[in-house]
């Protein structure tokens, strides 16, 4: 929490002006701490501040310990924060599990409700590292304000009011956000929420400075605060997707739920299939019918789609597949983050099965990556996989609302009559199918099949034809690689070390690069949005650095390199490429990356 301390005129209580603060709420998944974090994030978006959130939820349906961390800043915010400035502990296990995440000298607000009312209240404290403990009876104060039993849920709103007062947040705007959220339910729910909020706002915390955030530096304009899954969904709609079919799985499901309600509004159709195989097969049928369609899943579900995706590659049908990665293998860590589906996304099919793989770098980019996926799928008539991950799916960021009208693609069937010389699979050009119902002036209708085929789609066992069609399908990737621009390098354009990443690690790697430069290293950051094919123009960039460290959330594997690092070593044969990997299901912290890179630079890893 970067701040300056000033004495307030007429008051003995010092005031501290903040540039940023990291607040961690630790409780159980039923406590509504995600709601608190969501309210704070939306408020930041409405006050020209930057925000990034991070949450963990239990993988068991019976609930369990959960956290929601909010990093609010008046300037740029690239991460959810390595350490918390303020810990709000709802239970003893919350305190025990997260006090170590609080920085030295941080503030711990904990539930001091008498144990006769709340058996899990915090009673055992560790007075160490200069941490300031402030006990507040969250539960009993809420019960006093709202009524009911100590087990009634509502103390999250008491805590929300408390935080609003401690940090002198914009109460009017915050109340408006809360009213819009709870007003959707019924009057009694909103009334109880506001009673609890007001009780927390009025509570006299005692020995604690007053905090004020500096004015936000975000440029004027309409800003929104939302998560990656919502922006992917909005991007799909803007890209012209009007057909979706899927099967529920965490953390993909919220995209599916939104498509279910939104697609019919735009004349589209959404189908919840009986399983993953049916879902991808339904979207292949929609693509054959001439529509841009989407299916999605997470790791195990993507595996089940692979045979049908091979069919889509052979039949050259445009299709968008979203894979929101989580920890694996098998059902693994369904509510934790990992980037271990990279090789599956690129190579996880039988035969030579070319496809395009993209990865958004932050929440805002989820919108634009969906637009690009739609364009590439149409242009190259092939499956395009978007690799998001659990962190991006639920992370809330604030940014200017995209100009949806400018990017909007109004879909329509192309039923233009085809000349007699029309071939759906021309060897020398890109494939573009004729949708069923298209008038074929030559009277000869194309065939779609998973068998190897000739230029009309008729099955062919010719060795020469199989080689020619394989070359053609591969050539689409080469053309795409030539079309895509290599990303710009942040930081030093040559020097000691280049940090390379993909996906949700963008912010932590960017901040780590700046940290290394501040320590005297000449360091740069290259973040790849186009994973397969890799853009032309990457190799000259790599040649400008002594060390190339690929930072990714997957395992070192049998040969000591993460999945992207292995891909880059195979592509560029550059022995300077090394890995910093992690597999604990948690997002990278700055110190994880900096420490890992420094070990390499010192020759210790």
Question: How much is the mean pLDDT over the chain?
Answer: 92
Whether the pLDDT of residue 1 is over 70: the answer is: no
Using CA atoms, how far apart are residues 574 and 592, in angstroms rounded to an integer? 24
pLDDT score for 88: 96
Closest CA to 34 of 54, 52, 50, 48: 54
DSSP character for 52? E
Residues with Cβ within 8 Å of residue 328, at least 6 apart in sequence: 299, 300, 338, 340, 341
pLDDT score for 7: 44
Largest distance between two CA atoms of the chain: 91
DSSP character for 31? S
Closest CA to 55 of 78, 84, 76, 26: 26
Strand duo 490-491 + 523-528: pairing:
antiparallel
SS3 state at 429:
coil
Using CA atoms, how far apart are residues 441 and 418, in angstroms rounded to an integer? 6
Q: Is 140 left (phi over 0), alpha (psi -120 to 50) or beta?
A: alpha
Closest CA to 331 of 257, 273, 249, 254: 249
At 446, phi and psi to the nearest 5?
-70, 165
Band of the pLDDT at 206, cuts 50, 70, 90?
confident
Average pLDDT over residues 59-71: 83
Query: What per-residue string of b and e applies to 425-458 under the rule 16 or more CB within 10 Å gives b?
Result: beeeebbbbbeeebeeeeeeebebeeebbbbebe
Provide the residue ranges of all domains of the chain, joining segments of one domain with +.
Answer: 15-213, 225-406, 489-602
**What tokens were used for 513?**
């690069």
Strand duo 65-73 + 102-111: pairing:
unpaired
Whether the pLDDT of residue 187 is over 50: the answer is: yes
Q: Contact 8/210 with Cβ under 8 angstroms?
A: yes
Band of the pLDDT at 153, cuts 50, 70, 90?
low
Q: Contact 67/22 with Cβ under 8 angstroms?
A: no
pLDDT in tens, 244-259: 999 999 999 999 999 9
Within 10 angstroms of residue 147's Cβ, the number of other Cβ atoms is: 11
**What tokens were used for 28?**
């159980």
Using CA atoms, how far apart are residues 231 and 37, in angstroms rounded to an integer? 19
Strands, sheet with 3-7, edge to edge from the N-terminal-most edge strand: 3-7, 14-18, 210-213
Within 10 angstroms of residue 150's Cβ, the number of other Cβ atoms is: 16
Average pLDDT over residues 222-243: 96
> How much is the CA Rg of the chain, to the nearest whole Å?
27
Tell me how many degrees the CA angle 372-376-382 measures, rounded to the nearest 5.
135
pLDDT score for 150: 55
Whether the pLDDT of residue 412 is over 50: the answer is: yes
pLDDT score for 605: 60
Fold type of domain 15-213: Pyruvate-ferredoxin Oxidoreductase; domain 3 (3.40.920)
Q: Contact 425/269 with Cβ under 8 angstroms?
A: no
Q: Element (H or E) spanning 5, and its range?
A: strand 3-7
Q: What is the DSSP string of 465-524?
A: HHHHHHHHHHHHHHHHHHHSPPPPPEE-SSEEEEEEEEGGGHHHHHHHHHHHHHTT--EE
Closest CA to 532 of 571, 581, 499: 571
Q: Which residues pair with 490 in a beta bridge?
A: 525
pLDDT in tens, 328-359: 999 999 999 999 999 999 999 999 999 999 99
CATH architecture, domain defined by 225-406: 3-Layer(aba) Sandwich (3.40)
pLDDT score for 181: 86
Using CA atoms, how far apart are residues 392 and 337, in angstroms rounded to an integer? 9
**What tokens were used for 317?**
């049908």
Pick the CATH number of 489-602 from 3.40.50.300, 3.40.50.1100, 3.40.50.920, 3.40.50.1390: 3.40.50.920
- Same CATH topology for 15-213 and 489-602? no
Give, in order, the Cα–Cα distances in Å from 386 to each of 276, 345, 358.
Answer: 17, 9, 5
**What tokens were used for 196?**
């609890």
Using CA atoms, how far apart are residues 336 and 3, in angstroms rounded to an integer? 33
SS3 state at 340:
coil
Residue 187: Cβ-neighbour burial (10 angstroms; 0-12, 13-18, 19+): exposed
Band of the pLDDT at 13, cuts 50, 70, 90?
low
Q: Contact 227/360 with Cβ under 8 angstroms?
A: no
**What tokens were used for 361?**
């770098």
The beta strands (E) that lie in 32-83 are given as: 50-56, 65-73
Using CA atoms, how far apart are residues 471 and 231, in angstroms rounded to an integer? 36
Using CA atoms, how far apart are residues 163 and 24, in angstroms rounded to an integer? 11
Whether the pLDDT of residue 460 is over 60: the answer is: yes
Band of the pLDDT at 8, cuts 50, 70, 90?
very low
pLDDT in tens, 97-136: 999 999 999 999 999 987 666 667 888 999 999 999 999 9
DSSP character for 118? -
Using CA atoms, how far apart are residues 597 and 588, in angstroms rounded to an integer? 13
């Amino acid at each position: 929490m970067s701040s300056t301390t000033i004495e307030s005129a007429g008051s003995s209580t010092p005031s501290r002006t903040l540039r940023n603060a990291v607040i961690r709420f630790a409780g159980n998944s039923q406590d509504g701490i995600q709601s608190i974090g969501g309210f704070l994030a939306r408020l930041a978006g409405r006050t020209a501040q930057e925000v990034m959130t991070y949450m963990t939820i239990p993988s068991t349906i019976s609930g369990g310990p959960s956290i929601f961390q909010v990093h609010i800043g008046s300037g740029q915010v690239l991460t959810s924060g390595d350490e918390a400035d303020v810990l709000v502990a709802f239970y003893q296990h919350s305190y025990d599990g997260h006090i170590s995440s609080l920085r030295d000298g941080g503030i711990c607000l904990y539930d001091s409700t008498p144990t006769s009312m709340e058996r899990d209240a915090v009673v055992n404290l560790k007075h160490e590292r200069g941490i300031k403990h402030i006990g507040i009876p969250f539960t009993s104060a809420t019960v006093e304000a709202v009524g009911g039993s100590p087990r009634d849920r509502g103390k999250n709103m008491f805590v929300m009011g408390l935080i609003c007062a401690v940090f002198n947040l914009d109460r009017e705007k915050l109340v408006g956000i809360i009213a819009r959220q709870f007003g959707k339910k019924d009057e009694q729910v909103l009334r109880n929420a506001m009673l609890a909020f007001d009780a927390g706002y009025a509570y006299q915390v005692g020995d604690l400075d007053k905090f004020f955030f500096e004015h936000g530096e975000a440029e004027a304009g309409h800003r929104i605060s939302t998560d990656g899954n919502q922006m992917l969904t909005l991007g799909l709609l803007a890209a012209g997707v009007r057909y979706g079919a899927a099967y529920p799985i965490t953390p993909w499901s919220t995209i599916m739920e939104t498509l279910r309600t939104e697609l019919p509004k735009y004349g589209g159709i959404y189908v919840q299939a009986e399983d993953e195989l049916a879902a991808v097969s339904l979207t292949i049928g929609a693509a054959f019918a001439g529509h841009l369609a989407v299916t999605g899943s997470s790791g195990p579900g993507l595996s089940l789609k692979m045979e049908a995706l091979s069919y889509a590659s052979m039949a050259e049908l445009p299709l968008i597949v979203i894979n929101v990665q989580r920890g694996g293998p098998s059902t693994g860590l369904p509510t934790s983050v990992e980037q271990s589906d990279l090789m599956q996304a690129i190579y996880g099919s039988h035969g030579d099965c070319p496809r395009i793989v993209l990865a958004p770098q932050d929440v805002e980019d989820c919108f634009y990556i969906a637009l690009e996926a739609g364009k590439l799928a149409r242009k190259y008539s092939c499956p395009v996989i978007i690799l998001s991950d659990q962190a991006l799916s639920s992370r809330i960021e604030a940014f200017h609302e995209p100009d949806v009208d400018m990017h909007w693609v109004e879909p329509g069937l192309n039923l233009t009559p085809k000349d007699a010389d029309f071939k759906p699979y021309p060897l020398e050009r890109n494939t573009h199918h004729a949708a069923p119902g298209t008038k074929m002036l030559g009277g000869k209708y194309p065939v779609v099949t998973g068998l190897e085929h000739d230029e009309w789609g008729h099955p062919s066992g010719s060795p020469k034809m199989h080689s020619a069609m394989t070359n053609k399908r591969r050539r689409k990737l080469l053309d795409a690689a030539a079309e895509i621009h290599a990303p710009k390098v942040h930081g030093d354009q040559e020097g000691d070390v280049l940090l390379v990443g993909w996906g949700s690690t963008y912010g932590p790697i960017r901040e780590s690069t700046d940290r290394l430069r501040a320590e005297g290293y000449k360091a740069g950051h290259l973040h790849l949005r186009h994973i397969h094919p890799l853009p032309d123009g990457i190799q000259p960039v790599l040649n400008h650095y002594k060390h190339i460290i690929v930072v990714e959330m997957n395992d070192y594997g049998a040969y000591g390199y993460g999945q992207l690092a292995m891909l880059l070593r195979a592509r560029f044969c550059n022995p300077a490429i090394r890995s910093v990997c992690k597999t604990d299901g948690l997002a990278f912290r700055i110190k994880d990356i900096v420490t890992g890179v420094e070990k390499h630079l010192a020759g210790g890893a």
